[in-house]
Amino acid sequence: MNTATVNAKKIGGSAIEVRAISKRFGDHVALDNVHLDIRPGELVALLGPSGSGKTSLLRIIAGLEAPDSGQIMFGAEDASRRQAGEREVGFVFQHYALFRHMTVFENVAFGLRVVPRARRLARGVIAERVTKLLELVQLGWLADRYPSQLSGGQRQRVALARALAIEPKVLLLDEPFAALDAKVRKELRRWLRALHEEVKLTSVFVTHDQDEALELADRVVVMSAGKVEQIGAPGDVYTAPASAFVHEFLGDTNRLACRVAAGRVLLADGGVLGRAEAPDGEAIAYVRPHELDVVPSADAPAVIHHASTFGPLVRLIVAFGATNLDVAMPVERWVRLGLSVNDRVDLAARYGAVFTDPAGPAARLLPMVPGAPFAAAVRLQGAGRRA
Ligand X SMILES: Nc1ncnc2c1ncn2[C@@H]1O[C@H](COP(=O)(O)OP(=O)(O)O)[C@@H](O)[C@H]1O
Where does this chain bind ligand X (CB under 6 A)?
A: 25, 28, 30, 48, 50-56
Q: Which of 93, 122, 127, 124 is nearest to 108 (CA)?
A: 127
Q: Residue 172 CB, nearest distance to Mg ion (Å)?
A: 12
Of the candidate spans 52-60, 69-77, 135-143, 233-241, the one that interacts with Mg ion by CB under 5 A turns out to be 52-60
Q: Which of 188, 127, 125, 196 is nearest to 157 (CA)?
A: 188
Bridge partners (DSSP) of residue 255 are 286
The partner in contact with residue 52, picked from ligand X, Mg ion, none with C-beta cut-offs of 5 to 8 angstroms by kind, is: ligand X
Query: Residue 200, CB half-sphere, CA atoms under 13 Å: how many?
Result: 4
| Contact by Cβ (8 Å): 191, 17 | no
For Mg ion, the closer CB: 31 or 265? 31
For ligand X, the closer CB: 14 or 52? 52
Of the candidate spans 48-56, 178-186, 309-317, 321-329, the one that interacts with Mg ion by CB under 5 A turns out to be 48-56
User: Element (H or E) spanning 73, and its range?
Assistant: strand 69-74
For ligand X, the closer CB: 60 or 133? 60
Q: Residue 25 CB, nearest distance to ligand X (Å)?
A: 3
Q: Residue 152 CB, nearest distance to ligand X (Å)?
A: 20
Of the candidate spans 36-44, 54-62, 234-242, 347-355, the one that interacts with Mg ion by CB under 5 A turns out to be 54-62
For position 55 contacting Mg ion by CB under 5 A, the verdict is yes
For ligand X, the closer CB: 48 or 168? 48
Q: Which residue type is seen at 85?
A: G
The partner in contact with residue 28, picked from Mg ion, ligand X, none with C-beta cut-offs of 5 to 8 angstroms by kind, is: ligand X
For ligand X, the closer CB: 54 or 162? 54
User: Element (H or E) spanning 7, and its range?
Assistant: helix 3-11
Distance CA 300, CA 296 (A): 8
The partner in contact with residue 70, picked from Mg ion, ligand X, none with C-beta cut-offs of 5 to 8 angstroms by kind, is: none
For ligand X, the closer CB: 30 or 221? 30
Q: Residue 49 CB, nearest distance to Mg ion (Å)?
A: 10
- Per DSSP bridges, beta strands 313-320 and 363-365 are unpaired
The partner in contact with residue 56, picked from Mg ion, ligand X, none with C-beta cut-offs of 5 to 8 angstroms by kind, is: ligand X
Which residues are within 8 A (CB) of 100 and not within 5 positions of it... i.e. 6 or more apart?
146, 147, 148
For ligand X, the closer CB: 178 or 307? 178
Size of the site for Mg ion (CB under 5 A): 1
Q: Residue 250 CB, nearest distance to ligand X (Å)?
A: 16
Of the candidate spans 14-22, 31-39, 51-59, 111-119, the one that interacts with Mg ion by CB under 5 A turns out to be 51-59
For Mg ion, the closer CB: 22 or 131? 22
Sign of the Cα torsion 112, 114, 119, 120 reads positive
Q: Residue 54 CB, nearest distance to ligand X (Å)?
A: 4
- Per DSSP bridges, beta strands 43-47 and 202-207 are parallel
CA dist 316 → 199, 285, 313, 329 (Å): 43, 19, 10, 8
Q: Residue 156 CB, nearest distance to ligand X (Å)?
A: 18
Range 171-230, binding Mg ion (CB under 5 A): none
Per residue, what are the HEC states of 194-236? HHHHHHCCEEEEEECCHHHHHHHCCEEEEEECCEEEEEECHHH
The partner in contact with residue 289, picked from ligand X, Mg ion, none with C-beta cut-offs of 5 to 8 angstroms by kind, is: none
Q: Which of 240, 278, 273 is nearest to 258 (CA)?
A: 273
Distance CA 75, CA 127 (A): 31
Q: Which residue type is seen at 145?
A: R
Q: Residue 31 CB, nearest distance to ligand X (Å)?
A: 8
Interface with Mg ion by CB under 5 A: which residues?
55
